[in-house]
A and B are shown apart, each in its own frame.
Chain A
Amino acid sequence: MESQPMYLPEDVILKVENLDVKFYTYAGVVHAVSNVSFYVKEGETVALVGETGCGKSVTTRAVTRLIESPGRIEGGSALFRRRSGKVVDLLKIGDEELREIRGNEIAYVFQDPTSSLDPLYTIGYHIHETIVAHKSKISKKQTFKQAVSLLKQVLIPSPEIRVKNYPHELSGGMRQRSVIAIGLSNNPRLFIADEPTTNLDVTVQAQILDLLKSLQENYKMGLILITHNLGIVAEVANRVYVMYAGKIVEEGYLEQIFYNPSHPYTKLLLRAVPDPTKKIEKLESIHGTVPSLINPPPGCRFQPRCPFAMEKCLIKEPPLIEVENQHRSACWLLERT
């Protein structure tokens, strides 16, 4: 296993390369994630944006090997720098080591906060369980104290009382904050938040985003934020990966993506969001729908909906082409010949 030494640049926590995930369903093989590569640095917020079903959740779940039955990880690597400094490939290590990492060094907040809390246990117990799973010698009193301080950090009012509450006794926003607190309980190095604010009010959303940002600054953890709301991306992200139909179509720093988008999909996506500070006569919408991932269109996957599609787009899939420093985009329009 350890035949070739695995290399990660000093400040990179996670580096995923050529990830491939397929689902074997009756209707056919769903190629949910194809050839996706990305990395996360320490103390950095990386946003993964894209429409429903483009593979954002599957990508991040695959990284922690949380893909279930009809799905299979078909290839790629996910190098992760552990707290000890050791670099491991999350897709290859044994189950035991993976379990050590999950919930301890990598925390995952799922799309729906309600379903990741067990209604039979209090919030305090959830935190206790997460801590005990990775540290055997710790008393219940200690974890309880830790739980209170965690809840305080995620800005839950009167945390001494709330630790004893059951999930259903909390509002949606508080539940989401508790899930974040559980995720934080072992000081993870990497925090994956899958749409942490959908279904929440704007006021609560603003609170949660503010919270995530300050926590990340304090803990120096890497944060992968999955969302389809470009407003949120503009508020918190450092770098952005835009996904379409199971592939990354554009990547770059926040400003590069927002002020100099080069993939037609990104451009259209940006114009589809109503910006309340501007007077908009008509929203641009992208015609058509996301293609089926069972028989994706040949060539560029966005070509059937793309207003600039050319002959070449029908035939050959565009690779990621460098636009400027660290800014790459998968579109034939960028090819300078």
Chain B
Amino acid sequence: METIFRLLRSIIWSYAKLREKISPGWIQKNSSRIKEWELMAYAYSRSLIGVIGGVIVLAVFILAVIGPLLAWEPYWEYKIVYDESLRYRGPCLPPSCTGYPLLGTDEWGRDIIAMSLYGFRISFVISIVVVLLGAPLGIILGLIAGYKGGVVDEIIMRITDIFLAFPGLVLAIAFASVLPQRIRGFLEVNNIARAFFSGLFGLRQEEYGQLAALLSIWIAMVIVWWPGYARIVRGSVLSVREMPFVEAAKLSGLSTWSILFKHILPNVLSPVLVMMTFDIATATLFAASLSFLGLGPQEPVPELGFMISKAGGYFPERSSHVVIYLGFILLMMALGWNLLGDALRDILDPRTRRAIEYRLEKEKKK
């Protein structure tokens, strides 16, 4: 715990020193802000849940970045072409057997662990980007609806209601069945986009057909993802709008937009941030379940949900270990974000942040 705190503090201070070098006097002017950051770092390091969540998320992040490079087998090679015995091998634990992959293979003879390393990248990118795109859209709409009120509010919120009332999964299914062909056509002609997206997901450029399926899940999810944010932001705006400091800002000559972005947005952001963290977890599972239902990419793309769905075909005799292993990965990804979000909720609230007990070692010994 102490080391985590010291680590975070040194990060904060090296950032502060950097700013000081760029514009002298920065540290003095922002001393309060630095103190606040330090306090956040301290509160975080005190929260066991948060630290565990952070470690998991960090591990997932690292695996997502280097996973595809680390994977020792290309996912597009069907091994059973050379070696029929590799078809759905069970786990092979070293003392009893050697020479085969640790957790066995899938029906094409590919190493499960190597495949899952590609899967990390795909799940991670989808979930993060869905939230990073969906949230701002919802935040902006919620801000406008909450602050303007009246007819504007009515219109925005009724549209939001329609999207909320529509089952997300069904909407995503609808999109996933229409979109892929178009995206595919787009990727076929646009080399840059193709290179960019395949790089992003850690796939080969040849897989642009599957890439299109992935992107369509992606778009479908962004579209069903924003209404929650519009709701929560509007609610917070309604209460912040009534705070005297907003009226004071009006008297200070600020325009509506300045008030929205300088005073209201920063004050509604912390619940949104917490919600985003939780949502990354949900999005991970949502994307996996869409491809589990066959709406995502197909062979040979090693998407985790798709892999589970295939393993289902050989369940339970030959593939229970695959389902358990992949399920565990998804669970950890979601759990990490959830725990982090839980800790974040306390850290971002200045009151709970301050209330965290600080035990001086010396005092305790007395």
Contact = CB atoms under 8 A, between A and B. Distances in A.
Direct chain A–B contact by Cβ atoms under 8 Å: yes
Interface of A: 24-29, 69-70
Interface stretch (B64-72, B126-134, B358-366): B358-366
Given A26-B39, A26-B42, A70 B355 contact: yes
Contacts of B363: 24, 29
10 contacts: A24-B359, A26-B39, A26-B43, A26-B354, A26-B358, A27-B354, A29-B363, A69-B355, A70-B355, A70-B357
A25 B354 contact: yes
Nearest to B354: A25
B240 interface: no
A27 B354 CA distance: 8
A28 B42 CA distance: 13
Interface string B33-44: 000000100110
A25 B356 CA distance: 7
B352 to A, nearest CB: 10
A267 B225 CA distance: 63
A131 to B, nearest CB: 33
Contacts of B357: 24-25, 69-70
A26 B355 CA distance: 8
Contacts of A26: 39, 42-43, 354, 356, 358
A24 B354 contact: no
Given A24-B360, A26-B42, A27-B354, 11 more contacts: A24-B357, A24-B358, A24-B363, A26-B39, A26-B43, A26-B356, A27-B358, A28-B358, A29-B360, A70-B355, A70-B357
Closest CB pairs A-B (n = 3)? A70-B357, A26-B358, A24-B358
Contact of A70 (B39, B42, B43, B358): B358
Nearest to A26: B358
Nearest to B35: A27
Contacts of B42: 26
Interface in B310-366: 354-360, 363
Interface in B16-49: 39, 42-43
Contacts of B354: 25-27
Contacts of A70: 355-358
Contacts of B359: 24
| Residue among B39, B357, B359 facing the most chain A CB atoms (10 A cut-off) | B357
A220 to B, nearest CB: 39
A69 B354 CA distance: 11
Contacts of A69: 355, 357
A70 B356 CA distance: 7
A27 B360 CA distance: 11
Contacts of B356: 25-26, 70
Contacts of A24: 357-360, 363
A24 B360 CA distance: 8
Interface string B49-90: 000000000000000000000000000000000000000000
Nearest to A71: B357
Interface string B234-269: 000000000000000000000000000000000000
Contacts of A27: 354, 358
Nearest to B357: A70
B2 to A, nearest CB: 14
A70 B360 CA distance: 12
A28 B358 CA distance: 8
Contacts of A25: 354-358
A21 B346 CA distance: 25
A70 B352 CA distance: 11
A229 to B, nearest CB: 24
B343 to A, nearest CB: 16
A292 to B, nearest CB: 14
A28 B356 CA distance: 12
A69 B359 CA distance: 11
A135 B131 CA distance: 54
A27 B358 CA distance: 8
A275 B124 CA distance: 68
A24 B354 CA distance: 10
A24 B362 CA distance: 12
A29 B363 CA distance: 9
A330 B85 CA distance: 92
Contacts of A29: 360, 363
A28 B362 CA distance: 12
B170 to A, nearest CB: 36
A26 B9 CA distance: 14
Nearest to B358: A26
Contacts of B358: 24-28, 70
A75 to B, nearest CB: 12
A24 B363 CA distance: 10
A27 B42 CA distance: 11
A30 to B, nearest CB: 10
A26 B5 CA distance: 13
Nearest to A22: B363
A141 B95 CA distance: 75
A24 B46 CA distance: 14
Contacts of A28: 358
Nearest to A72: B357
B360 to A, nearest CB: 7
A83 to B, nearest CB: 36
B94 to A, nearest CB: 49
A180 B210 CA distance: 69
Nearest to B359: A24
